[in-house]
Amino acid sequence: MLPFLEVFYPQSLIVLIFYRGKVNSMSSTELMTLRENGDINIIEIKTDLSSYAASDLRRMLESLLSQNIGKVVVNLSAVNHINSTAVGALVGVAKRLRQEGGDLKICGLAENLTRTFNLIGASSVVEIYESEKSALAAF
């Protein structure tokens, strides 16, 4: 249980969260599932991709790279938020897969996620598809 101290003032709220060693929480990898469709691996993500989850995503992608898995589809249709750290992880792995003859394709981006990809320019680096079916067909 996290220790919380809340002090209320009129028109003010002060919240302090104190750190007390390692946090026990559900890993975001539990919300990232991996399945296969022929020689293509599909990662389906069911958690928002902030920096906390991005490190788990990067570990999962690195694990695929180490197993010489070359074709990856990342399905983000259940994701409501993505930050630049997570986009950077996807871009980095896509570039490394391409160097080895594979690729990483993304599908299912909500409007605000598309905007983040466009702002960064990542949509010019990683192929983005509306549906998982179209991403799979693009290999």
Partner 1 sequence: MEKAHISLKIPSDVFYVDLVRAFVGKLAERLKFSRKRGADIQLVLDEICTNAVKHGSSAVTDSIGLCITVDKDTLEILVQDTGSGDAPAGGWITPERLREIEANRSPGSESGHGIFIVKAIADVHEMQCNAAGGTDVRVIFYREG
Give the footprint of partner 1 on this chain (CB under 8 A): 11-19, 23, 25, 48, 50-53, 55, 80-81, 83-85, 87-89, 91-92, 95, 111-112, 116, 119-122, 124-125
Q: Between 43 and 89, name the residue whose CB sits nearer to partner 1.
A: 89
Q: Between 40 and 102, name the residue whose CB sits nearer to partner 1.
A: 102
Q: Between 36 and 100, name the residue whose CB sits nearer to partner 1.
A: 100
Rounded least distance, CB 74 to partner 1, Å: 15
Rounded least distance, CB 133 to partner 1, Å: 26
Rounded least distance, CB 16 to partner 1, Å: 5
Q: Between 46 and 136, name the residue whose CB sits nearer to partner 1.
A: 46
Query: DSSP assignment of the chain, as one string?
Result: ---EEEEEETTEEEEEE---S------GGGGEEEEEETTEEEEEE-S-BSHHHHHHHHHHHHHHHHTT--EEEEE-TT---B-HHHHHHHHHHHHHHHHTT-EEEEE---HHHHHHHHHHTGGGTSEEESSHHHHHHT-
Rounded least distance, CB 38 to partner 1, Å: 28
Length of the chain equals 139
